[in-house]
Amino acid sequence: MLIPVPGLLDADGVAAVRSLIDRAPWIDGNTTSGYQSALAKNNLQLPEEAPEAQQAGHMILAALGASPLFIAAALPLKIFPPLFNSYAGGQAFGTHVDNAVRIQKETNFRVRSDLSMTVFLEAPEDYDGGELTVETPFGVQQVKLPAGHAVLYPSSSLHRVEPVTRGRRVASFFWIQSMIRDDAARASLFDLDQAIQTLGATVGQSDPSIIRLTGVYHNLLRRWADA
């Protein structure tokens, strides 16, 4: 399931993140690649330990914590600290699958990558190409969103970043370990949550049907969650 998260960062948030990362030193993006990814990857990235990357990452984590849509869709248990990459001059990232486990550099912190997330940090009209292309059971989907918008998708998906032929594509990317390991179960919980929210806006959250459905949601979450 591929889920857009509109307006994760507002215009001021995007500007604040860019003011930090634009002045930081960029390095070869293969510093965080697995073997397969390194064969396909051609971009620049901020070092994980760069103070600017860490400060900008904290801003994104705060935005995630304030996003009901992200929480409902991801049901996050752990989030890998956000990283930042840049593509320009024909750079691209060929088709690959993200590593199953990501370990933070020089720490014992590790995340099982159930979900991947990209936060777009450049206006789409300012660059050509650079679409995030994800192969799903329902066909290939391409994503190129406004700055501050994000997209969430299964880390097990084959995906790629198309060549950037004009301008520069800047984004944050990271991985989420969900409380719900199974993609289908997580998708069902998300659908149920969204239906409850939509129905509740019509009949009121105190309606007996909403209360019963909310109970079903939490009982399923209780059954399936690793927390």
For position 210, which CATH number holds? 4.10.860
The mean predicted confidence, pLDDT, of the chain is 95
CA 64: distance to chain centroid? 10
CATH number at residue 64: 2.60.120.620
Residues 130 and 211 in one domain: no
% of the chain beyond a pLDDT of 70: 96
Residues 118 and 24 in one domain: yes
| pLDDT for res 227 | 81
The C-alpha atoms of residue 175 and residue 78 are separated, in whole angstroms, by 9
Helices 51-65 and 11-21 sit at what angle, rounded to 10 degrees? 160
| pLDDT for res 40 | 82
Residues 89 and 195 in one domain: no
| pLDDT for res 105 | 86
Residues 203 and 173 in one domain: no
Residues 220 and 164 in one domain: no
Residues 146 and 205 in one domain: no
Residues 21 and 111 in one domain: yes
Residues 140 and 41 in one domain: yes
The total number of structural domains in the chain stands at 2
Residues 191 and 108 in one domain: no
CA 170: distance to chain centroid? 14
Which residues in the chain come in under a pLDDT of 50?
none
Residues 190 and 165 in one domain: no
CA 40: distance to chain centroid? 20
Cα Rg for the chain, rounded, in angstroms? 18
| pLDDT for res 30 | 79
Which H or E element spans position 120? strand 115-120
Residues 126 and 61 in one domain: yes
| pLDDT for res 29 | 85
Residues 56 and 114 in one domain: yes
| pLDDT for res 32 | 59
The pTM for the full model equals 0.94
Domain of 200? 183-224
Residue positions counted in the chain: 227
Q: Which residues contact 86 (CB under 8 A, 6 or more apart)?
A: 26, 43, 44, 45, 168, 169, 170
Q: Which residues contact 103 (CB under 8 A, 6 or more apart)?
A: 109, 110
